[in-house]
Amino acid sequence: MTKIFKNKLREKEGGMFILIVSILLIALIVLAGVSEYMRLQIIAKGVRDAVQSAVISVSTENYENVYSSSREAYSAGYKYDENEEEWKENIDTGDVYKKLDDLLGLEKDGGYHVKKIDSEYEYKLSNLKVEIINSPLKSNDKFSAETFINLEVPLSFGWEHLPPMKIRLKVKSEYMAKF
């Protein structure tokens, strides 16, 4: 087998044809891999930006909780309880999944929120966890939220022999009252 291959390479008639075809195939495979990597990056960035937008939108809905007890540029979710004469946390995580469904056009499918193209899915979101970090009173910190969500994207490279990309996205969103 190796003798045949060596003889083919030594031929003077069309000897470069095999080499050129091999180089083109390798270049095509590399280009397909790079384009798949870029596709995954674009999807992950789009989902991250949408999660951040949804959490900021929920924070904006919490505006009255955050601003009513604060003065000037402070932002914190506290409310004064006159009965116990102390400040109590007053925060609400809202419905981030509903905002995400509206922003990204997702459909609920079991425990997943799925973006579908025709009958196939483009990506799945699951296990959303929102941690609201309430800043202390009289601080210059921002009212912020850390969001964790699982993203699963099937690979189109490898003809479905490769498992889907699964990552846990961490998104930090901050809110501070302007006035």
Distance CA(65)–CA(85), nearest Å, equals 18
Distances (CA, A) of 39 to 42, 119, 154: 5, 19, 11
Residue 65 has pLDDT above 70, yes or no: no
Residue 73 has pLDDT above 50, yes or no: no
Count of all residues that appear for the chain in the document: 179
Task: Summarize pLDDT for 28-59 with one digit per residue, the tens.
Answer: 999 998 999 999 999 999 999 999 888 888 77
Distance CA(127)–CA(125), nearest Å, equals 7
Distances (CA, A) of 91 to 9, 55, 85, 154: 73, 13, 19, 36
Structure tokens at 123: 């990506």
Task: Summarize pLDDT for 150-172 with one digit per residue, the tens.
Answer: 999 988 876 667 888 999 999 88
Mean pLDDT for all residues in the chain:
77
Residue with tokens 């498992």, as numbered in its chain: 163
- Residues in CB range of 91: below 8 A, 6 or more apart: 62, 65, 77, 132, 134
Identity (one letter) of the amino acid at 174? E
Provide the residue ranges of all domains of the chain, joining segments of one domain with +.
18-62+93-175
